[in-house]
Amino acid sequence: NAGVTQTPKFQVLKTGQSMTLQCAQDMNHEYMSWYRQDPGMGLRLIHYSVGAGITDQGEVPNGYNVSRSTTEDFPLRLLSAAPSQTSVYFCASREREKTHGYNSPLHFGNGTRLTVT
Amino acid sequence: EDQVTQSPEALRLQEGESSSLNCSYTVSGLRGLFWYRQDPGKGPEFLFTLYSAGEEKEKERLKATLTKKESFLHITAPKPEDSATYLCAVQARNGGATNKLIFGTGTLLAVQP
């Protein structure tokens, strides 16, 4: 299994440009999510999905869109890039939520390093 | 407010010098505490899950423990390959459809030969 695969690994955008960060997993996980990691801050949840066709907002959703048409793929779209979106973006997946709300651990991709100038 | 604090921010050890990393938390109902290891340029890699106070988990030179207020990651006789950032994350019961996961900012560990 490849696990969670993210592309591209690096990207430089100009302010106002749009782009899509790709994420794919081959573990048949129902739950997928996007996080951003910034220096001095913990990983912050952007959007998540509990299954195909179902998405919801996390802690910092503004400026980002997601969709989930298949179990395997969960792309993140930047609508109009801003310098504040310069960050490292991680996609993560896990098995469906267990009974009584106890979660399985997340499996992370290796990230996309985005710079917005 | 739910919060996770890791200390120290950075730790430098000599090879073989044992130490502990701390993860303190305040959450409204703990559902689980996760430890991850993150190497430079890589995504976090899962190490342990702890669910209740008193629980312990071990893997090679690492041992994680949990109390009602904090978790420790003990590193016994570390080697240079243990150098990484160690992240702690707490799953809180928030009553929603998906329980909230809160990450600490990590401890950067450097083990010198």
For residue range A71-112, list pLDDT tens digits in order: 999 999 999 999 999 999 999 999 876 665 567 899 999 999
Cα angle, residue B7 at apex, residues B102 and B66 outer, rounded to 5° = 65
State how far the alpha carbon of B33 is from the alpha carbons of A27, B56, B100, B113, in Å: 23, 11, 12, 31
Instruction: Please tell me whether the peptide bond between B8 and the residue prior to it is cis, using omega within 30 degrees of 0.
Output: yes
Show the tokens assigned to A69. 């048409």
pLDDT of res. A26: 96
A56 touches chain B (CB under 8 A): yes
What pLDDT sits at residue B92? 82
**Residue A49, min C-alpha distance to chain B (Å):** 10
Q: What is the pLDDT of residue B95?
A: 46
A103 touches B at CB < 8 Å:
yes
Tokens 């073989």: give the residue.
B16
**Cβ neighbours of A105 in B, within 8 Å:** 34, 46, 49
CA A62 to chain centre: 13
Q: Are A112 and A9 in contact (CB under 8 A)?
A: yes
What confidence score (pLDDT) does residue B21 get?
Answer: 98
Q: Which ranges of chain B have pLDDT less than 50? A: 95, 97
A39, B108 in Cβ contact below 8 A?
A: no
